[in-house]
Structure 1
Amino acid sequence: MLPAIVLIAGGAQSGTLCVDFAARLPNVKRELCEAAQLQPTAARSVKGRTLWVRDVKPVHATLRVLVVGAIHGDELSSAAVALHWIRLAAQLPADVRQGIHWRFVPMLNPDGVFSGSPTRVNANGVDLNRNFPTPNWQRDARVYWEKRTRKDPRRWPGATPLSEPESRFLSDEMSGFKPQLIVSIHAPYGVLDFDGPSVPPSRLGRLYLDQVGIFPGSLGNYGGVHKGVPVVTIELPNATRTPQDGEMRQMWLDLLHWTNERVGPVQEVAAAPGSAPRTP
């Protein structure tokens, strides 16, 4: 099931959206945003900002992959990398693209991103990555927040699971789109995390696997452990600066290679000059 998309003229999109994205996100020029051809959904943030998506889909797709950036609004590099990956996905040759339907949600938390000073939480002060309905959420989420985070306001899970329009939107995407793999881009810990079935990738680019555990209400817990959908969590090394373009491409190539090996029948992609896909 596709998201509710409202088609708009490219000029209207690029006139406001891409100017804003380029002004706020690192290593994002207006031209990159315009080339992403983002489409608005019917979903809105707490403050009424549109949640945007981009589908890159071949005619005969057999595998669905959902890529999500900026669940935390102060992790600006995560949204930027998602936009760069849209470009790479759209540039794949048709024979390579065959079989994989990519859905990108580059900025799940626009209110946090476009706050005066970007914030981890959304406009209601909720950490969206603690707001998903994992088993025993009512029992565990608040206890974890109080005792493990010492009531850190940046990690408030909300009053109830899926209390926020942004987390509800992503949950609906998981139910409707039915991804067989979820890739969640974060920052700034510089590691690779994994939840769910399958053998995790040992590395993507320069990021090595370092599974840090699961948290009540997190997307990894909800998708990977509860729903049984592999969730690759990418922690970029810096929240306000993207990796170099070659590194972003290598991460993308490694993700494709691992997906081919462990998730679904995706054809191999030629590496960039001076690099090669590795066995993650």
Structure 2
Amino acid sequence: MRLTCTVALLAASFLIATGAQAAGPCDDFVRKLPNLRRSLCEAAQLQATAARSVKGQTLWMRDVKPEDVRQRVLVLGAIHGDELSSASVALHWIRLAEETTAPWSQAIHWRFIPALNPDGLLASPPRRVNANGVDLNRNFPTPFWERDAKVYWEKRTRKDPRRWPGTKPLSEPESRFLHQEMQRFKPHLIVSIHAPYGVLDFDGPSVPPSKLGRLYLDQVGIFPGSLGNYGGVHKGVPVVTIELPNAMRTPLDAEMRQMWLDLLRWMSERIGPGMPDRLPRVP
């Protein structure tokens, strides 16, 4: 009898644990993120990756991939955990990626990572940095990081703890995961969603978009360890950085859609109307 009870308790514990894992991220995301309905979150069909945050939170991802892939685009949200609107916009854009019917846009493989910093996002209150106190957007291996990152933090930010770059590049599991995804996925374009400065930034080759929705281009420069510096300047992959106007509220649904359409239009013009014929076929 005692053995039977023990087995039953173990089985119940296992079911509870696996049930929590199977529930996915929507309980947390819907509770935390602005303008996010459960139906939209569940329709996003986020997939668990093998990567985990400092506190063991799953890093979630979603691919929207056509059969005939000619271009790869990586979309990121919540690199800074207190920029809640950025994760919401990324989730809304998953739906738009699935609905887009323009012939050339159907050749794009979209990869969404809506919340790179779940520990910061789910903290109360939300925190810009990860659970180790590191600003993930200062933790990428830009040239001369060891020489410049700490000096910049000390001199330019006056040791602002919200902008601590860490002890070495890629010291954090979240930045290592994104770095590995960049190497595996080999994106032609990276779109990184932030808040709350209400501008559009750009790093890397190509002519930048002049505006997305109501956000106009205002290039603010590069920083040691930033994704724009690493991806756009060092690796030559264009990085569009979207700074939403508010970290706690998303733009209206129509505005998010307009930003999406403007992004697609810029991509079409940047590559040219014959994009599917001009880009090499990729596996």
Assess same fold via TM > 0.5. yes
Name segments (4+ residues, structure 1) moved above 6 Å.
Answer: 11-14
Cα 1:166–1:263 change in 2 (3 A) is farther
Q: Give the C-alpha shift of residue 101 in structure 1.
A: 0.3
Matches within 5 A, 1:54-65: 54-65=62-73
Of 117, 120, 125, the residue aligned with 1:109 is 117
Question: Does structure 2 conserve the Cα–Cα contact (< 8 Å) formed by 1:63 and 1:180?
Answer: yes
| Separation of aligned partners in 2, 1:224 and 1:101 | 19
After superposition, residues 42-81 of structure 1 pair within 5 angstroms as: 42-81=50-89
Question: 1:50 corresponds to which letter in structure 2?
Answer: T
User: Which whole-Å CA distance do the structure 2 matches of 1:202 and 1:95 have between them?
Assistant: 24
Q: 8 Å contact 2:83–2:196 — kept in the other structure?
A: yes
Please give the secondary structure, in 2, of the residue aligned with 1:66.
strand
CA–CA distance in structure 1, aligned partners of residues 105 and 67 of structure 2: 10
Instruction: In structure 1, give the amino acid aligned to 2:218.
Output: D
Which of 261, 275, 280 pairs up with 1:253? 261
Between the aligned residues of both structures, percent identity stands at 77
- Equivalence for 2:139: 131
Report the equivalent of 1:242. 250
Please name the residue that 1:215 is paired with.
223
Q: Which secondary structure does the structure 2 equivalent of 1:158 belong to? A: coil
Structure 1 residues 163-185: Cα deviation after superposition (integer angstroms, max 9, x where no partner): 00000000001100000000000
Q: Where does residue 6 of structure 1 map in the other structure?
A: none
Task: Give 5+ residue unaligned stretches, structure 2.
Answer: 1-18, 277-283
* Deviations 1:135-186 (CA, angstroms, capped at 9, x unpaired): 0000000000000000000000000000000000000011000000000000
Alpha-carbon distance in 1 for matches of 2:121, 2:34 = 12
Aligned pair in 2 of structure 1 residues 102, 266: CA closer, same or farther (>3 Å)?
farther
Q: Are 1:55 and 1:102, in contact at CA under 8 Å, matched by a contact in 2?
A: yes
Structure whose residues are more often helix by fraction: 2
The 10-residue stretch of structure 1 (88-97 or 199-208) with the greater mean CA deviation from structure 2: 88-97
Partner residue, 2:48: 40
SS in 2 for 1:228: coil
Asked if the contact 1:256/1:266 (under 8 Å) is kept, the reply is: no
Counterparts of 1:254 and 1:94, CA distance in 2: 13
For residues 232-256 of structure 1, give each alpha carbon's deviation from its aligned partner in whole angstroms, at most 9, with x where no partner exists.
Answer: 0000000000000000000000000
- Deviation for aligned residue 1:13: 6.8
- The runs of 5 or more residues in structure 1 that have no matched partner are 1-10, 268-280
CA contact (8 A) 2:231 2:238 kept: yes
Counterpart amino acid of 2:142? T
For 1:203, give the aligned amino acid.
K
SS of alignment partner, residue 155 of structure 2: helix
Q: Which amino acid aligns with 1:231?
A: V
- Indicate conservation of the 8 Å contact 2:100/2:106, yes or no: no
What is the CA–CA distance in structure 1 between the aligned matches of 2:94 and 2:20, rounded to whole Å?
A: 20
Report how far residue 93 of structure 1 moved. 2.5
What's 1:23 paired with?
A: 31
**Structure 2 counterpart of 1:105, one-letter code:** I
Identify if the C-alpha distance between structure 1 residues 19 and 195 changes in structure 2 by more than 3 Å, giving closer, same or farther: same
- Counterpart of 1:189, as a letter, is Y
Alpha-carbon contact 1:14-1:30 (below 8 Å) kept:
no
- CA RMSD in angstroms comes to 1.5
Aligned with residue 146 of structure 1, among 127, 150, 154 = 154
Hey, what's the Cα distance between the residues in 1 that align with 2:214 and 2:226? 24
